Copies of this chain bind each other. A is one copy, B any other.
């Protein structure tokens, strides 16, 4: 049996707690002989800053490059609000995405029936919701140069950020979206602001070309990102796969996540290009939620998004779709049984701890 190398980067806040439950799941998989995972740990974000005054060390970057998949917790917190910009917690995550070429960010927004009530939207608007947001992750305004603040004198400063997209970057994220749609409900909605941004014009043009050349069997729709955001709030179930750029994807995927009422439940996968020789791709898996410093260390955090992110690793990096399905089913079963962490419990019920939730899911398996 092949050994799979995992790098665990728990990060800050509730990161280490929720990662603990993934570790428990990995141990169980190894013990059962289902697969062989070898894990290493590293530091990222505030915890890397505290140890080494960087947001991720060169040693951990090397480990990340050598790993078959990275399992990432969360970064940030008020403790590091005033560290220098270059070493702020988020910089570690952004460097991992960029240096590992993780251009495709998959963010499913699924409404668990047991939790539809937790949404601020009406039940009928979100029940059964199942959309996939495909966000470009290594381009756009996140990484374009110049990205500067210049002192103009007279007490005036000028800040500049640059949104850059090349044809190939749009093509490859488009293909990821169309391929996913083929396994789902066969529809892709591309969102940009072509009426204002040149990158939106190119985005629209390239998506249209890729579609016409390679994916005529999939339905492609275009929507302006602002009205797309509106439609997401008004009638989210009209969407299947949404493909959009880095910044719009950041906003739209967070909004989609919130619609489901299950922010603590949603995973994400960030994938690189498939290597022509090895057929492997670099990958990182992280929950959509943040580091939640206010509840860190209290055993209150919901580990489902983290466990479910590991499920995405099984599916997308290790071709273990069956086991991934079992993990998803175990999560659904535990929720159906009524077990709830504090973030999703309804009034009057007692909340399960992080560990209780993790153990219950394992028991289901």
Which of A88, A159, A195, A227 is most buried by chain B, counting CB atoms within 10 A of its CB? Answer: A159
Q: In the complex, are the beta carbons of B162 and A166 less than 8 A apart?
A: no
Q: In the complex, are the beta carbons of A163 and B163 less than 8 A apart?
A: yes
Q: For the complex, is A230 an interface residue (Cβ under 8 Å from B)?
A: yes
Q: Which residue of B lies closest to A124 (CB)?
A: B120
Q: In the complex, are the beta carbons of A226 and B254 less than 8 A apart?
A: yes
Residue in contact with A226 in the complex, picked from B125, B157, B158, B250, CB distance below 8 Å: B250
Q: How far is A197 from B166 in the complex, measured between Cα atoms in Å?
A: 20
Q: Which residues of B contact A148 (CB under 8 A)?
A: 198
Q: In the complex, are the beta carbons of A251 and B229 less than 8 A apart?
A: yes
Tell me which residues from 81 to 112 in chain A have a Cβ below 8 Å from any Cβ of chain B.
85, 88, 90, 94
Assembly stoichiometry (copies): 2
Residue in contact with A202 in the complex, picked from B120, B149, B197, B233, CB distance below 8 Å: B149
Q: For the complex, is A2 an interface residue (Cβ under 8 Å from B)?
A: no
Q: In the complex, are the beta carbons of B160 and A166 less than 8 A apart?
A: no
Stretch of A18-26, A255-263, A336-344 contacting B (4+ beta carbons < 8 Å): A255-263
* Number of chain A interface residues as a range: 35 or more
Q: For the complex, is A278 an interface residue (Cβ under 8 Å from B)?
A: no
Q: Which residue of B lies closest to A85 (CB)?
A: B201
Q: How far is A180 from B196 in the complex, measured between Cα atoms in Å?
A: 28
Which chain A residues have a beta carbon within 8 Å of chain B's beta carbons? 76, 85, 88, 90, 94, 120-122, 125, 141-142, 144, 147-149, 152, 155-168, 193, 195-199, 201-203, 225-227, 229-230, 233-235, 247-248, 250-251, 254-255, 257-259, 263, 290
Cβ-closest 10 pairs across A and B: A159-B202, A159-B199, A230-B258, A161-B163, A226-B254, A90-B195, A120-B125, A159-B198, A156-B167, A161-B197
